[in-house]
Chain A
């Protein structure tokens, strides 16, 4: 088990290194970050501007060879120094840390809604196959799958904020502010969870051990919860976890529509302002989160199923 954990950790670390490298070189081909750091106030002479340009270039280390920049960058990153935001002139890490709790709150609530609504819906649909409930579950999962999130968000705002006036349109403050964004964000997850738990449950119910369990006279409740649900859940977990990166991506859109002050919104702003250190750190954050999610999933699997450790 230890060998497996070490190997898997090394793999994860390698991927994070890959992400950093990818984004580092992307930024460097993007143009000249130094020119963005120069303030173009009026009544400054050309020489003053050029002098500041060279100062910024030197400050950012852009006058050196790109490979040296890469090494220096790693040196700084190891100390947690990812540079200053061009726009706010505070460390990019600080900006991210300020916004991260908001995103986590939103994401966790969405995940809870997604599981709390999706699982019962999918299981109930599988147990009552072909019923109205089953059709409803299919309808919900199809809708959650095909709807453009930002449009849904706009429609929800129009219905619940503009017409009914029940909930605020955007921003943070009271508990009411989080309802619409969390619901919008959760819909994709509800759809995935409902669909997968439905087919996982159907699959499990068609197995021989379920027939055996029924044949030996177990109550239907025991058959469903002890036998079918347990075995069906593994494939559900796999698919749901694999769909998480996609859902992390939609965080950006949802946060922008609802002006939610999280890391996704920060990223959209940083892109508009060409605030590269912030964009960089944001991508790194999303990448690391994804890698961590998959890492935890694999470790859990290895704990449950000894065969995986020896692969």
Chain B
């Protein structure tokens, strides 16, 4: 994953940007502000979706199915974004479904980041056999295209039950965990690289000489200095997770819920899109969120650490 709309394109420009104050950089990098604004709008939509929704997202109205949005067809149209094949209000479904879409992506990224950061710290700091084994597992996982691996894992673990999760949430939780576990490799490699250089620094030696335990050195001294790239990578991977979830839903491996995720919504309505183009609005929402997440990630990267540009997220 790399920058979408570059503001600081070359090393020289980045060096110049390095001297700017954070506020100046924020202003120069206006696309980041756009990303934040879009993201904020979607988060508000997700938080208050159930109140903002003009209609009941699951109310079926077969007399008004596949109706166009009112602003296209003032006579026959129903609702701001029209209705689906069962006459359900598209906008309301998108608003209520946005919570699920964003929660799935957010939790998956958090799981991927937490496990990746932990394993990256461990392998980078400890080295030796632990490092070898974990990095070989990472190699193995990267060797399989992520979507292919996910398809296989979901297929094979169809009947798998996660512990501590109520049965009705099992499918959803599994989806989140699988999507999340897919992300650990990127984070682990990123953190490991940072740790390898940080652990030789004087201040780490000093902490160790003062008798700090390994755990304390890792968590208090190394992690805070290694975490920035992981935060940037997390933001950049958010969009990827949303798209992956959508693709899985399309392949029939998504989660069945009363109000589905955006990806599932598109895949459910694909047979009707020929006659009702407005069923594509969930796809527009996906594109906007993915765009926003990437703009946000680029922005964070430029603000936090210009060295990072061009690296894999």
**Nearest chain-A residue to B288 (Cβ)?**
A146
Q: Would you give the shortest CB distance from B70 to chain A, in whole angstroms? A: 23
Residues of B within 8 A of A16 (CB): 143
Given known contacts A23-B152, A30-B158, A141-B4, A146 and B294 CB-to-CB distance under 8 angstroms: yes
Q: How many residues of A sit at the interface, in one of the four size bands?
A: 35 or more
Residues of B within 8 A of A276 (CB): 156
Given known contacts A18-B137, A29-B157, A30-B158, A287 and B2 CB-to-CB distance under 8 angstroms: no
Residues of A within 8 A of B3 (CB): 195, 199
Residues of B within 8 A of A235 (CB): 310
Given known contacts A145-B4, A162-B274, A203 and B11 CB-to-CB distance under 8 angstroms: yes
Among the 9-residue stretches B72-80, B122-130, B163-171, B247-255, the one with 4 or more Cβ atoms under 8 Å from chain A is: B247-255
In Å, the complex CA distance between A205 and B13 comes to 12
Q: Would you give the shortest CB distance from A203 to chain B, in whole angstroms? A: 5
Residue A158 is within 8 A (CB to CB) of chain B in the complex? yes
Q: Would you give the shortest CB distance from B233 to chain A, in whole angstroms? A: 14
Q: Decide if B263 touches A286 in the complex (CB within 8 Å).
A: no
Given known contacts A149-B247, A253-B251, A256-B251, A26 and B152 CB-to-CB distance under 8 angstroms: yes
Residue A222 is within 8 A (CB to CB) of chain B in the complex? no
Residues of A within 8 A of B142 (CB): 245, 290
Q: Decide if A271 touches B145 in the complex (CB within 8 Å).
A: no
For chain B, residues 256 to 295, give those with C-beta under 8 angstroms from any C-beta of chain A: 263, 266-267, 270, 273-274, 277, 280, 283, 286-287, 290-291, 294
In Å, the complex CA distance between A274 and B41 comes to 41
Residue A155 is within 8 A (CB to CB) of chain B in the complex? yes
Which of the residues B136, B143, B144, B286 comes within 8 Å of A148, measured between beta carbons? B286
Residues of A within 8 A of B243 (CB): 146, 148
Residue B23 is within 8 A (CB to CB) of chain A in the complex? no
Residue A142 is within 8 A (CB to CB) of chain B in the complex? yes
Given known contacts A158-B274, A199-B310, A146 and B160 CB-to-CB distance under 8 angstroms: no
B contact residues, total (Cβ < 8 Å): 57
Given known contacts A30-B156, A148-B283, A154-B270, A19 and B10 CB-to-CB distance under 8 angstroms: no
Q: Decide if B156 touches A249 in the complex (CB within 8 Å).
A: no
Residue B147 is within 8 A (CB to CB) of chain A in the complex? yes
Residue A110 is within 8 A (CB to CB) of chain B in the complex? no
Residue A57 is within 8 A (CB to CB) of chain B in the complex? no
Interface centre among B143, B146, B253, B290 (most CB of A within 10 A): B143
Given known contacts A148-B263, A149-B247, A239-B2, A253 and B310 CB-to-CB distance under 8 angstroms: no
In Å, the complex CA distance between A267 and B151 comes to 9
Residues of A within 8 A of B312 (CB): 239, 242
Q: Decide if B152 touches A279 in the complex (CB within 8 Å).
A: yes
For chain B, residues 1 to 60, give those with C-beta under 8 angstroms from any C-beta of chain A: 2-6, 9-13
Q: Decide if A29 touches B156 in the complex (CB within 8 Å).
A: yes
In Å, the complex CA distance between A286 and B3 comes to 27
Residue B212 is within 8 A (CB to CB) of chain A in the complex? no
Residue B200 is within 8 A (CB to CB) of chain A in the complex? no
Q: Decide if A206 touches B11 in the complex (CB within 8 Å).
A: yes
**Nearest chain-A residue to B289 (Cβ)?**
A146
Residue A166 is within 8 A (CB to CB) of chain B in the complex? no
Q: Decide if A253 touches B247 in the complex (CB within 8 Å).
A: yes
Residue A66 is within 8 A (CB to CB) of chain B in the complex? no
In Å, the complex CA distance between A31 and B239 comes to 33
Residue A291 is within 8 A (CB to CB) of chain B in the complex? yes
Q: Decide if A18 touches B139 in the complex (CB within 8 Å).
A: yes
Given known contacts A150-B250, A267-B151, A158 and B273 CB-to-CB distance under 8 angstroms: yes
Q: Decide if B143 touches A18 in the complex (CB within 8 Å).
A: yes
In Å, the complex CA distance between A305 and B243 comes to 37
For chain A, residues 253 to 294, give those with C-beta under 8 angstroms from any C-beta of chain B: 253, 256-257, 267-268, 271-272, 274, 276, 279, 282-283, 286-287, 290-291, 294
In Å, the complex CA distance between A29 and B270 comes to 34
In Å, the complex CA distance between A35 and B11 comes to 60
Q: Would you give the shortest CB distance from B104 to chain A, in whole angstroms? A: 15
In Å, the complex CA distance between A290 and B144 comes to 7
Q: Decide if B10 touches A279 in the complex (CB within 8 Å).
A: no
Q: Would you give the shortest CB distance from B286 to chain A, in whole angstroms? A: 6
In Å, the complex CA distance between A277 and B225 comes to 46
In Å, the complex CA distance between A196 and B144 comes to 23
Residues of B within 8 A of A51 (CB): none
Residue B159 is within 8 A (CB to CB) of chain A in the complex? yes
Q: Decide if B148 touches A26 in the complex (CB within 8 Å).
A: no
Residues of B within 8 A of A198 (CB): 6
The 8 A CB mask of A159-202 against B (1 = contact, 0 = none) is: 00010000000000000000000000000000000011011001
Residues of B within 8 A of A14 (CB): 136, 139
Residues of A within 8 A of B270 (CB): 150, 154
Given known contacts A22-B140, A206-B10, A283 and B148 CB-to-CB distance under 8 angstroms: yes
Interface residues of B (CB under 8 A from A): 2-6, 9-13, 136-137, 139-149, 151-160, 239, 243, 246-247, 250-253, 263, 266-267, 270, 273-274, 277, 280, 283, 286-287, 290-291, 294, 310, 312
Interchain Cβ contacts under 8 Å between A and B, 28 examples: A18-B140, A22-B141, A30-B159, A143-B287, A145-B294, A146-B243, A146-B290, A146-B291, A148-B286, A150-B267, A154-B270, A155-B273, A196-B2, A199-B9, A239-B312, A245-B142, A245-B144, A246-B147, A249-B145, A249-B148, A252-B251, A271-B152, A283-B148, A283-B152, A286-B145, A287-B143, A287-B144, A290-B144
Q: Which 6 A-B pairs have the closest CB atoms?
A: A249-B147, A18-B140, A249-B145, A30-B156, A271-B155, A146-B290
Could you list 11 further interchain pairs (A-B, Cβ under 8 angstroms) beyond the known A18-B136, A154-B270? Answer: A15-B143, A29-B156, A142-B5, A146-B291, A155-B273, A203-B9, A205-B10, A245-B144, A253-B147, A276-B156, A291-B143
